Amino acid sequence: MNTKPVKLEKRPVSFRHKTYLEPPTTVGNLPFRRICVSYDCDVTCSEMAMCSRLLACEAPEWSLMKRWRERSALVFSLAGKSPEQFSKTIELLINRERGIAVDFFDINCGCPTDDIFSMGCGSTLMGRTSKLQDIVRADHKPIATKLIPKLYNSGASLVTLHGRSRHQRYTKEADWNYIAQCGKEKREREAALRRELEEKLIRAEGNPVDDEYYPDLDPNVPRRAPTEFFGNGDVMHYQTHLHVLDNLPVDGMMIGQGALFKPWIFTEIKERRVWDISSRERFDTMQDFARFGVENWGSDNRGLAQTRRFLLEWCAFLHRYVPVGVLDRYPESSEPMLALINARPKAFVGRDELETLMASPFVGDWMKLTERIPLIGKAPDGFTFIPKHKANACKDTSSSLDQGGDDQAEG
């Protein structure tokens, strides 16, 4: 057995203007990532995995560390509390003998849940700057305003800022003004450091720094591509994506809940168009998810139940999509921030029966949709489901037909 430590090497990488799927909890599984890749997502991220559980070889945690033959780059999202945890976990994951192919690692320092926070992981790291710097170095790979430059110094290839606080969660809109402020300070600092470095090289009669690679931060850091900066929060349609790239000092955007509502947002961004996707096309996407789920979890009763359960979890987001064709008007490119992620549309009748059923906020109707998929068929007797997200608002499993469709429930 080879016990020699794996040499971990950082590669120059550019995320600039790439479409990036953030790691959605529960729904960000392999079948969902395959759906997003089918809609031309450039970079996908796994669900967050705990370093401690991976090191303890817990099977449920290792099941998150899977990839398909993605055309896109794959990032593993890890949560831990110490440089040692991250270093050992990353070395374990990239060990060639395990056969796991991963392109990059995401250090999660934004998860706001109480159990993760109390373990010293997730958003806890935002207040532990020195430890987070050590983690960035060890992976061999207003707080954000102070923290982000230190992460650049530590050698991070990409920093993503979600414009919300831990306590705020999703009660308010993402603060893109704060993201822009951090991005502006980052670019001003890079420009100042570049000028300083060029002056030193000129005085030393050296060559000017080339345009592509330069040590934009600590002079002790080897020459590499400059750290890139992504914003995250409330990206619901391609106009927002274009507006942010054209007007704010960011290199790209990570997309999470927008992709859960409409994974074809990546196609809209690539093709710069509004896609009035039909109910049949949306249902075909659900059938693709079921097929991917059976391939991932198996075709036995347990695998079919797992596929149905995760498909229902996804329906808790999918039902909130309002088809373009039923809107009075669609936001123009000059008003890119109108699609608020917390908006709850009034009940509406779709252009066909399937579209109306897909808009239902009731679990019973979601169950009917899954039972229309031949691959997984009718739910077995005794099968029950309560969504993990907003579970208290979705306990009633009756359908909109049973209750008249007037009451709205959050998914």
Tell me, what DSSP letter sits at residue 122? G
Compute the distance between CA of residue 230 and CA of residue 43 in angstroms, rounded to an integer.
13
Phi, psi angles (nearest 5°) of residue 61: -75, -40
Instruction: Sort residue 203 into left (φ over 0), alpha (ψ -120 to 50) or beta.
Output: alpha
How far from the centroid of its chain's Cα atoms is residue 295's Cα? 23
111 catalytic per annotation: yes
Percent helix, strand, coil in the chain (nearest 5)? 45, 10, 50
Compute the distance between CA of residue 163 and CA of residue 225 in angstroms, rounded to an integer.
25
Compute the distance between CA of residue 278 and CA of residue 128 in angstroms, rounded to an integer.
48
Which of 45, 51, 109, 111 does the annotation list as catalytic?
111
Asked if 164 and 172 touch (Cβ cutoff 8 Å), the reply is yes
Asked if 261 and 321 touch (Cβ cutoff 8 Å), the reply is yes
Compute how many other C-beta atoms are within 10 angstroms of the C-beta atom of residue 365. Answer: 22
Instruction: Give the relative orientation of helices 144-154 and 129-138 as an angle to the nearest 10 degrees.
Output: 30
With H, G, I as helix, E, B as strand and everything else as coil, classify residue 326.
helix
Asked if 326 and 351 touch (Cβ cutoff 8 Å), the reply is yes
Dihedral Cα 331, 332, 338, 344, nearest 10 deg: 10
Tell me, what DSSP letter sits at residue 170? T
Q: Is 69 exposed, middle or buried (0-12, 13-18, 19+ CB in 10 A)?
A: exposed
Residue numbers annotated as active site: 111
